[in-house]
Structure 1
């Protein structure tokens, strides 16, 4: 019996010893894991930064309203009064320089020309007869068979007939001129923008019959403040906008007189686009604003305390670690997704360009990339 009890004691002691050894081994393993954990560096967020490039000014785009106009506009009429016999074009038609547009009734001119032509023929025949008679008188005088008086009379008659013939020729030329002026022709390549009279009416001299707008030549005329107009030069390239369409233009002149109502000067810009005359257009000009600051993406700026705006500047803390500091800024201009700001920034400072909602002041981070987008901006 005692032998059985001794055997049980030995088994019990062996089990306790094994358990103690296992506990010691477990404690040693935990110690090693704790040491390993203490050797692992803390996790740091990776951020992208942008290098601040300070500049003395920024430019803003302003638009000045104007109107599209044809290079030339004209209200055409006849130089002579008369009955409008024919209208050969209508509103919307395109005409070439010299093309016939309308014609007056020329029946009276036809009668006048016929009468003058007959007078000329009569005078020409009479002058021819007088000259032959004068030649015979000259021959008879050489034979002492004609008097000097007869010769003088024929010479005088010849001069009268020659003068009468010249008068009729001048009248015929005037008749031809009136014929030409009875036709209305286009002074330049144009589009008919208005027909102002109807067929068969009697028009006065100078009364407008058609309104024309020069084809393919367009101008934009816009009023610009005097101080800005003084910086513009003829030949300078500019941008103009009509609706959603933007075109390049060239300044062809500035009105030297200041408009008393708007206190502005009119700028004329030549464009190549066939925009409709009368359409509203805008002259786009970049104006410099003297303010030292930098361009930043809008994702680099966040709202601070009491309605202020801040950026997170990354300050080198060594060991490739950067500490975040808040810097107050003022937003001066917005252009797309870019902001021009000024404030507690120095040239070449690094500011976090995105992901500010995951960060906090004083936090240590790692910089993965630095850009200099602002260096390329005007």
Structure 2
């Protein structure tokens, strides 16, 4: 009797414990859901690259042979237009100039004397005291002296030019990019002495595929060395490069853009594709059959695999098309841990990405 009562109490306790336990057979796998919202299209992002160039770049040097006497600038210095950059030794030129001036003074003295003789001969000729032939010879001598005077004046002008060319000046406001010669070095025509880049007035030259030209705006953001500048389009491109199949476009940069010639520049171009679809997290995509893609739609608490077409991806989200509707929920992540038709419980909702602007 006592055993029977003990069994009855044990059975009652087990039934009571079973009633208190949750029904694990009815519970689903806890998952995160993503609610679909249809979009009308997406932007394809394409990045093209180019180079920074200066509108004016000059490789300047002396026009005549000579020894470099002095330098007044070095690499990296900012200079203004007309500023003296370097000089050649001009001692020999100065001596030649003094010689020309002395010869000119001599010719002037001879010319003065000849003109005085001409006046006397002219008076004597009128009084029949001198022959006409002497007067003609005197006039001829004056013409010769005048011609020699003009030659000396031309030579002096040439000497002034050579003395001026012995001083190297900045052709525009800019920055010294390189100094190619040293003090004491003999330089001549055609030899580069200094490379100078115009300060400000920088531009970027970028090759753009023909199919993206319609997406180029008058101003475009251009990334140079991690900084973004607003580039203003200067030319639309006329010749198609036969190798890269791109058109060369020019964009001017703001005058205060601190950039250097030869720097790499990158420009991002957005092209709108008007096609209805859905943005979903990349984690919601999984491999389907025969190389296709699929998502798991949550229907009545169960997973339903649905084939989709991947149209675009930005690395975090995918733009897809398929037999889906706005408001439907799909599995947001963990697709590798589930299978079709299993029961799930939504315990988290992932924020929906809407239309791309």
TM-score, normalization by structure 2 = 0.73
- CA distance change for structure 1 residues 372 and 134 in 2, over 3 Å: closer, same or farther? farther
Deviation at 1:179, TM superposition (A): 0.6
Name the SS of the counterpart of 1:292 in structure 2: coil
> What is the CA distance between 1:355 and its match in structure 2?
7.6
2:153 matched to 1:169? yes
> Unaligned stretches of 5+ in structure 2?
1-32, 335-339, 344-350
Q: Deviations over 1:181-239 (max 9, x none)?
A: 111111111211211111111112120111222212222223333x2375477x83222
**How many pairs were matched up?**
318
Compute the displacement of 1:171 (Å): 0.2
Q: Secondary structure, in 3 states, of the residue corresponding to 1:75?
A: strand
Q: Judging changes above 3 Å, is the alpha-carbon distance between structure 1 residues 93 and 304 closer, same or farther for their aligned structure 2 residues?
A: closer
RMSD: 4.1
Aligned residue number for residue 240 of structure 1: 222
Contact (CA 8 Å) 1:71, 1:217: kept in 2 or not?
Answer: yes
Aligned pairs for 1:37-186 (under 5 A) are 51-55=37-41, 58-186=42-170
Matching of residues 1-378 of structure 1 within 5 Å: 51-55=37-41, 58-225=42-209, 227-228=210-211, 231=214, 236-253=218-235, 256-272=238-254, 273-288=257-272, 290=273, 292-294=275-277, 296=279, 298=281, 308-310=293-295, 328-335=307-314, 338-345=317-324, 349-352=326-329, 374-375=354-355, 377-378=356-357
Distance 1:340 1:210, change over 3 A: same
Deviation at 1:299, TM superposition (A): 9.1
Q: Which has the larger radius of gyration?
A: 1
Distance across 2 between alignment mates of 1:231 and 1:179: 56
Mapped partners of 2:128, 2:320: distance in 1: 118
- More displaced, 301-310 or 176-185? 301-310
**CA distance 1:150–1:312, change in 2 (3 Å):** same
Structure 2 residue matching 1:89: 3-state secondary structure: coil
Alpha-carbon shift at residue 169 of structure 1 (Å): 0.2
* CA distances 1:35-83 after superposition (whole Å, capped 9, x unpaired): xxxxxxxxxxxx996652434xx32121122222222222211111111
User: Unpaired runs of 5+ in structure 1?
Assistant: 1-46, 315-323, 364-370
Q: Do the aligned partners of 2:282 and 2:315 also contact (CA within 8 Å) in 1?
A: no
TM-score of the aligned structures, taking structure 1 as reference length: 0.69
